Amino acid sequence: MTEETIFSKIIRQEIPTPLLYQDDLVTAFRDISPQAPCHILVIPNKLIATVNDVTEDDELTLGRMITVAKKLAKEEGISDDGYRLIMNCNDHGGQEVYHIHMHLVGGHKLGPMLKR
C-alpha cells in the first residue's frame, strides 16, 4: 500500500486548502496547476493508490466521486456546455500522485482526448 500522500494532508486540512466539497467519502478542491478555466480534483478520503487497487467495497465512493463532480460542474456553470472527467492510472497513464483522483475540467472547448 502506498504511504500517505499530499492529498491525505489536504483532506485533514493539515495543508490548508479551500475545499469545494467534503463529506465522509470524498473531498474536492481546485487543482494547483489548472489546465482549463475550471480544474477541480475530486478524491476519495480513503487512500486508494491506483485504479488497479479499487475493490468492490469502493464502489459507493467512486459513485460519489461522479455525483460530486456533476454537482460541482453545475455550480461552476460548465454543466450545460460540457466538461471532462479524467482518472489516470500508473506511470504510462500519467498518474503523478498515487492517491486516485478525478480531474473535473471544463470552461472552454477541450479539443481531442489524446494527441497522436
What pLDDT, in 10s, does the model give residues 6-54?
Answer: 999 999 999 999 999 999 999 999 999 999 999 999 999 999 999 999 9
Name the DSSP letter for residue 81: T
Confidence of residue 112 (pLDDT cuts 50, 70, 90): confident
Is 25 inside any structural domain? Answer: yes
Task: Please give the residue range of the domain that contains residue 37.
Answer: 6-106
Which residues in 63-81 are b (16+ Cβ under 10 Å) and which e? ebbeebbeebbeebebeee
What is the predicted pLDDT for the residue at 69? 98
Is 32 inside any structural domain? Answer: yes
What pLDDT, in 10s, does the model give residues 66-87?
Answer: 999 999 999 999 999 999 999 9
Is 111 inside any structural domain? Answer: no
Is 83 inside any structural domain? Answer: yes
AA identity, residue 68 = V
Is 116 inside any structural domain? Answer: no
> How many domains in the chain?
1
**Residue 69: which CATH number?**
3.30.428.10
Is 61 inside any structural domain? Answer: yes
∠ CA 35-38-44, rounded to 5°: 90
Query: Is the confidence at residue 1, as pLDDT, over 50?
Result: no
Catalytic residues: 101
